[in-house]
C-alpha cells in the first residue's frame, strides 16, 4: 500500500485525479469504479478541468459506481446517480450508456444486486476503483460486519453513517436507512485502488484501517491486502499516522 499525504483537500484531489488520468491515458477504454461523498468531489472537479483543457478523453471509458440508496430514482436529487451526473457525467464526454450505478429503485433488491454483479463482470471488471472511507471504516456502503461480503448486496446503514450523511439532507428522517452496495469482493478485484480521505473525522478510521488488524469490523482494513492500493490523505486525516510513515 502506498500512502500519500497532501497538504490540503485541493492537493489531495489533484493527486487522486492525476492517478485516474494516468489510467485513462494509458488505457482509453478503462473501467473506472467511482464513488460519491464529499471526499471525491474535488477529484471530479480536477478531472472535469483536465477534460475541458483537452487533456483527457472519456469517450471510451466505462464507469461503475459503488452504491445507491434503496428506493432512490435517478431524478431524485439525493440519489447517487444524480450526484454523479452533477459532479462528473455531465461535465465530461463519458457516454451515458457506459455509466452504471446500482438500481436502488428496483422493487426487488436481490434482482438489482445480481444484475449489477453481471454488469461488473460484463465490462471486464474494474481497472481503477476510487474510494472514500466512512467514519466507521466503511467502503462503498460495506458497513462493519462479521464477514466481508463478496458481491453486490443490500445493507442496513449504521447510525453513524446516517448521521454522517445527514448533512446532505434537510432532516435526519430523510436519510435513507438502506442501500445497495458493491461487495468487498468486487472492490478487491479492482486492478488498482485509489482511496481519498480528508479532514479530522477520518483520522481514526485511517489509523485503524491501515495500521490495525485486517477485520470485517473495519471494512477498509482489507485494502492492506490489495496489491496496488494508493491512499491519498490530506494532513488532517493523516494526523494520527504521521509518525508511522
Binding mask 175-214 for ligand GLP (x = CB under 6 A): ----------------------------------------
Shortest spacing between CB 164 and ligand GLP, in angstroms: 6
- 67 touches ligand GLP (CB under 6 A): yes
Whether 49 sits among the annotated catalytic residues: the reply is no
- 244 close to 3: Cβ distance less than 8 angstroms: no
Q: Which three cell numbers stand for residue 8?
A: 490540503
Distance between CA atoms of 108 and 99, rounded to whole angstroms?
Answer: 21
Whether 138 sits among the annotated catalytic residues: the reply is yes
Distance between CA atoms of 228 and 63, rounded to whole angstroms?
Answer: 19
Strand order in the sheet with 67-69: 67-69, 178-181, 153-156
Q: Which of 33, 37, 102, 205 binds ligand GLP (CB under 6 A)?
A: 37
- 143 close to 161: Cβ distance less than 8 angstroms: yes
Q: Which of 133, 182, 188, 218 binds ligand GLP (CB under 6 A)?
A: 133
Q: Which of 13, 30, 36, 152 binds ligand GLP (CB under 6 A)?
A: 36
Q: Which residue has the cell 440508496?
A: 69
Catalytic residue among 68, 70, 127, 136: 136
Whether 204 sits among the annotated catalytic residues: the reply is no
In the region spanning residues 138 to 167, those forming contacts with ligand GLP, defined by CB under 6 A, are 140-141, 161, 165
Enumerate residues 6+ apart whose C-beta is below 8 A from 110: 154
Shortest spacing between CB 169 and ligand GLP, in angstroms: 13
Residues designated as active site: 67, 136, 138, 143
Amino acid at each position: 500500500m502506498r500512502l500519500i499525504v497532501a497538504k490540503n483537500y485541493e492537493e489531495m484531489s489533484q493527486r487522486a485525479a492525476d492517478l485516474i488520468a494516468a489510467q485513462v491515458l494509458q488505457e482509453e477504454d478503462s473501467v473506472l469504479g467511482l464513488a460519491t461523498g464529499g471526499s471525491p468531489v474535488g477529484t471530479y472537479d480536477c478531472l472535469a478541468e483536465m477534460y475541458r483543457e483537452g487533456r483527457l478523453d472519456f469517450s471510451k471509458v466505462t464507469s461503475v459506481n459503488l452504491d445507491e440508496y434503496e428506493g432512490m430514482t435517478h431524478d431524485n436529487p439525493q440519489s447517487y446517480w444524480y450526484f454523479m451526473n452533477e459532479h462528473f457525467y455531465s461535465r465530461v464526454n463519458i457516454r451515458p450508456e457506459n455509466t452504471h450505478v446500482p438500481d436502488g429503485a428496483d422493487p426487488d433488491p436481490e434482482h438489482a444486486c445480481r444484475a449489477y454483479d453481471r454488469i461488473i463482470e460484463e465490462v471486464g471488471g474494474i481497472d481503477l476503483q476510487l474510494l472514500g472511507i466512512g467514519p466507521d471504516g466503511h467502503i462503498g456502503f460495506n458497513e462493519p460486519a462479521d464477514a466481508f461480503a463478496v458481491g453486490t448486496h443490500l445493507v442496513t446503514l449504521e447510525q453513524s453513517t446516517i448521521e454522517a450523511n445527514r448533512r446532505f439532507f434537510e432532516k435526519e428522517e430523510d436519510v435513507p436507512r438502506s442501500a445497495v452496495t458493491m461487495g468487498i469482493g468486487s472492490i478487491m478485484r479492482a486492478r488498482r485502488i485509489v482511496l481519498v480521505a480528508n479532514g479530522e473525522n477520518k483520522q481514526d478510521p485511517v489509523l485503524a484501517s491501515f495500521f490495525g488488524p485486517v477485520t470485517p469490523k473495519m471494512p477498509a482494513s482489507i485494502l492492506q491486502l490489495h496489491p496496488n492500493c494508493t491512499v491519498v490523505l490530506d494532513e488532517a486525516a493523516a494526523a494520527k499516522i504521521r509518525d508511522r510513515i
